[in-house]
Amino acid sequence: MTGTIYSLIPALLTIALVILTRRVVLSLGVGALSAAFILANFNPLQTLEILMRSFSGLIVEENGLFGFLNDWNMSIIFFLLALGVITAYIVLSGGATAFTNAIIKRVKSREGVQYTAALLGILIFVDDYFNALVVGNVSKPLAKEQRVSRARLSYIVDSTSAPVCVISPISSWSTGIMGSMAVIFASTGATYNTFSAFLTTIPYHFYVLVTVIMVFIVIKYNFNIGLMKTYEESALNQQDTSLTHAEATAQEMDAQSSKGSVWDLIAPILTLIIVTICTMAYTGYTGAINSESDFNLFFAILENISLATSLRIGGLAGLVVSMALTYRHIMAREISFAQYTKAFFLGMKSMVGAIVILLLAWAICDLVGTLDAGGYLASLITQANIAPGLIPMVMFMVASFMAFATGTSWGSFGILLPIAGSVAAALDMDLMIPIMAAVLSGAIFGDHASPISDTTLLSATGAGCDLGAHFNSQLPYALLSATIAAIGYLVFGLSQSLLIAYGVMAVCLIAVIFYAKRNRKSREEISK
């Protein structure tokens, strides 16, 4: 049943259950079980065997970390555990309170906190995982102080991580995309320079551009739709219902030093950022000088970065600094050693739920990949007789659904970019860049909208938001941005004019602004 319509059942079942039950672990578990059941041709024993093999593969691999551990997966898990402990020590040392008190003098409104998170998300464009976890953690104390819901914070974080990384020429994404482009250009006879082609795709990333603009509209006009309104109201009443259980428990803990400083927060986070980026540069350089690359040295470095190693070392460095800074409060008799030890284990415990969900998401993505859901969707494209003017919109929608169903943007554009190149070469070479951008943009949307996406999970984790709350509250905004982007691709395909497409999307965004302003005015009148 691989490569057929049945391959879509596990992902669609998972997504439906998340929406209906809001029980993420149950939904992911049922999705993984259904995928294994289909792969086993409905044989119970083989289903169990496939599940065990899939989950063991997430942890153990031949010639991996320490000779047997899955390097990438274990690095992400270690980074999450380290971040949990760092956060716990920042709270215990009084760093979170000191940082909030210092920043709140300059950021004195709910809008200001949200703008700060959005700008940090745009500025930290090196990697989407790194972005989501760091920006969320830095912004949490401010969000709590100004009563911004974690649902809103995780939406801002998610909407400024991967969308910014995919259009940044200096990110963990760019070299992968450019590498794929180079292969496609060579196979189709296209004469584009790879780097300039990447830059040329940026104006055609309609979903990415609309999403980032939408973030600022949401902040400026307090634009709440769907469940976001409920979560924001609960936060204003100081009972934020979008918090994870671990985060809610942590907020109830009052054990912390009364003499914490801003550096108790800044130093560990800054160490984590600097060491991670420096390690990325080092691993990229050592990889570049030992490899044959089609890129110049700078881009060869980006191509050879070991993000897994960088996250491990960066996480460890941040952890050591946070432990050392917090220990000085023991020496000053401001906190006890028992509180210090307890914070360490509570920090790790706070990440257990996220790690369980992440393992389930990885498993279902692996199983759905084995079912070849992406290949099935790709075959539909190649077999369809689609008018050239509709191709950009169709490729955007197919990439969206593929990433939505598989939970991976990289997997989606890895499959669809070659198809997009072949279609453009056969129809009109001038459509090559727009169609590729449509695929990349669609993959980002599908990744945004999917509860089985690891970036969705990590954005929620970084912000301390329940995954179900993040998914359900973000979905309406993602769908709205995707609708505007799809209209833009349709207009561009029919008119062949980027300016006209921008004009139509601008009209749509202005309509959203008017609607948001009217809603805000209505709320203000009701409150009076």
Q: Is the pLDDT of residue 385 over 80?
A: no
CA angle 74–76–78, rounded 5-degree value: 65
Residue 221: pLDDT band (50, 70, 90) is: very high
Residue 212: pLDDT band (50, 70, 90) is: very high
According to the model, what pLDDT value does residue 505 have? 97
According to the model, what pLDDT value does residue 368 have? 80
According to the model, what pLDDT value does residue 524 have? 59
Q: Is the pLDDT of residue 105 over 80?
A: no
Mean pLDDT on 500-524: 89
103's tokens: 């920043």
Mean pLDDT on 42-58: 90
Residue 295: pLDDT band (50, 70, 90) is: low
Backbone angles phi, psi at 465, to 5 degrees: -105, 145
According to the model, what pLDDT value does residue 154 have? 94
According to the model, what pLDDT value does residue 267 have? 92
Mean pLDDT on 183-210: 86
Q: Whole-angstrom Cα distance, residue 275 to residue 343?
A: 24
Residue type for position 478: A
Q: Is the pLDDT of residue 294 over 70?
A: no
Residues 6+ apart with CB under 8 A from 252: none
Q: Is the pLDDT of residue 135 over 80?
A: yes
Mean pLDDT for the chain? Answer: 85
According to the model, what pLDDT value does residue 382 have? 66
Residue 525 or 82, more confident: 82
Per the CB < 8 A criterion, the answer to whether 192 and 186 are in contact is: no
Q: Is the pLDDT of residue 527 over 70?
A: no
Q: Is the pLDDT of residue 523 over 70?
A: no
According to the model, what pLDDT value does residue 249 have? 56
Among candidate residues 276, 278, 334, 337, the one with its CA nearest the CA of residue 310: 276
Question: Is the dihedral angle over the CA atoms 169, 175, 178, 180 positive or is it negative?
Answer: negative
The residue extents of the domains of the chain are 5-61
